[in-house]
Amino acid sequence: MPTAADLATYIAQFAAASAYAAVLELGLKRRYEPDHTWVTVVWGTAQTGLILAARLALAPVPDLAGADLAWWVWWLWTWSFAAGGLPIIAWQVIIQKRRWQAVQTAWERWTA
């Protein structure tokens, strides 16, 4: 069962990734397209690592040992990446939809 600190970590991941997606969409749109996927991946991974490090440094770690502690870390890591990845994936889907619509529009004009 996730603790309040774990849930706060997931919420922070989601919020940070949402803000990152918004900056990419609104602020850097003309200078950055998803053609530089590696930049998105590197920053997203670093962001997740920083938030996880803050969680481990600032909030208490459950009183677990051995395999139980390993599983707790694994679940914290996995859900953090999932929470941080969802907004970026949604942004990428929106970009793909726009590109597909542009192709359809061009096709319709060409065949009309």
**pLDDT tens figures, 26-59:** 866 666 665 667 777 888 889 999 999 999 899 8
Q: What is the pLDDT of residue 14?
A: 93
Number of structural domains (the chain) is 1
What are the φ and ψ backbone dihedral angles of 47, each rounded to 5 degrees?
-60, -45
The 3-state secondary structure of 11-61 reads: HHHHHHHHHHHHHHHHHCCCCCCCCCHHHHHHHHHHHHHHHHHHHHHHCCC
**Domain that residue 28 falls in:** 4-111
Q: What is the pLDDT of residue 22?
A: 85
Residue count of the chain: 112
Average pLDDT for 18-32:
76
- Give the number of other Cβ atoms within 10 Å of residue 55's Cβ: 19
